[in-house]
Structure 1
């Protein structure tokens, strides 16, 4: 990974202590090859720390002066436009996670009370799968909207850092969408091409994927209902998997909401610099 403190001749001779912290956070986000719920939630937390670091750097007079130069106005506008796309992704993720959480809770209620029998369980499972399809659609949309920053002056340290933050944020979103969507070969080939900074295989997604585990347990339960066989073990297993899934969704929701607030803060800082 490139070192930022050598990029600009205008930088002070002593490296600011936030620069190594930024590089460490960025390296950590790029290093993990896992795609489990804990790793995705961890990456969301890591993004929050990365954005906090950048926000502190944006408060430095040296960086504010650098960004306020006329030659960087187009760069900032590009970054502001990109930040809107990231906020849209946050809202898409929040809506999809909320819909899936509600479907998960309803499925648990149906299994627990055994109301409606097979037809009710099958109907709610279809709603659950519909939520998953909405996430896959968001993933494809995110892939299509990926952009490059032709106007960036990479000799300016803070501009290049802002680009890196946007790039890794988009990559983590793609990882999260792929994790929620589940390991499907058709969609996964698209994700793997985009995630050039994080190598993830289908096997990684299968491992510790609460969404895939919930699918498997629910399919077993539905088969049992269709065969008119009552199996308390399958009921209990489905309940356990759905509870794990609900906790996973809750962690992702909290991570996305916190990241959303960080993105807003960074956007406001850039707007203030642009307007001064």
Structure 2
């Protein structure tokens, strides 16, 4: 039976390590394998927690004197620049995801509040729904820009390099995969066709079926909200049915807000870890 891309990648990773790698490198690779194995089954919140553990492990690795020495002695200037660029790219993507989540949460919260005050429905609610949908276009444009910036930014893998460097580059790749999934969640169904053409990272390391499952699962909550809102302002119903529809939308918005809040908190924790990793890299380079 042919091995999957993930199995090939894991095999290549094991070949890139010395016969007795440092335990922290093994720990990092174990976290990487867990994230890859749960690509289509874990929630985005769980993936963010997994990334936090992964970057904690990477930070400990960078603090080891022997690793710092090996990094300085054996890494050329181009490779160092690539690692620093990668750490900055992760911070930029994390910030873009946080901004998109915050905007989505605030808009959902505002629309919920208006729906509570105007339970009877009417033109007022429809106007606010249209404002919400318009604000979603702003978020989607920002996501388009962020994902566009990922194109062509991934260096070729070289498994003959220093094991620590190889591990750091794989950590960057897996982190970008999760960010891409998260941004796909915030974008919702309207951008799925465009997002699929930008799924460069996923295509490098995930089977096509798994990458598709990530997009479908992540988009479901936003898709429900947008479909319900479009239906609310385009379908004529009786007053009782309309009120029921408004209540349903209100509940969907509340569920979305709760999910977004969890993701925002997870991203904030991860952002702090990404900053620590970048500072450690800068300290090693400037040592």
Q: How far is the alpha carbon of 1:91 from its aligned partner?
A: 1.6
Query: Cα–Cα, structure 1 residues 266 and 193, in superposed 2: closer, same or farther, change >3 Å?
Result: closer
Matched, 1:195 2:209: no
Matched, 1:46 2:53: no
1:40-78 deviations in whole A, cap 9, x for unaligned?
111111111111111111111221011112643332222
Instruction: State how 1:1-276 maps to structure 2 within 5 Å.
Output: 1-2=10-11, 4=13, 6-7=15-16, 14-34=20-40, 39-69=43-73, 71-114=75-118, 117-146=121-150, 147-149=153-155, 154-184=160-190, 185-196=192-203, 197-198=205-206, 199-201=210-212, 205=216, 209-223=220-234, 227=237, 229-231=239-241, 232-276=243-287
Q: How far is the alpha carbon of 1:156 from its aligned partner?
A: 0.5
SS at match of 1:103: helix
Q: How far is the alpha carbon of 1:239 from its aligned partner?
A: 1.7
Return the alpha-carbon distance in structure 2 between the equivalents of residues 104 and 237 of structure 1: 14
1:189-235 deviations in whole A, cap 9, x for unaligned?
314454123323269625882211112332333346x5562433223
Q: Any conservation in 1 of the 2:16–2:159 contact (CA below 8 Å)?
A: no
SS at match of 2:116: helix
Aligned length: 270
SS at match of 1:155: coil
Q: Which blocks of at least 5 consecutive residues in structure 1 are unaligned? A: none
- Output the TM-score relative to the length of structure 2: 0.82
Query: Cα–Cα, structure 1 residues 55 and 245, in superposed 2: closer, same or farther, change >3 Å?
Result: same
Q: Any conservation in 2 of the 1:5–1:157 contact (CA below 8 Å)?
A: no
SS at match of 1:270: helix
- Output the TM-score relative to the length of structure 1: 0.85
SS at match of 2:189: coil
Q: Any conservation in 1 of the 2:96–2:143 contact (CA below 8 Å)?
A: no
Return the alpha-carbon distance in structure 2 between the equivalents of residues 203 and 40 of structure 1: 9
Q: Which blocks of at least 5 consecutive residues in structure 2 are unaligned? A: 1-9
Q: Any conservation in 2 of the 1:68–1:274 contact (CA below 8 Å)?
A: yes
SS at match of 2:239: coil
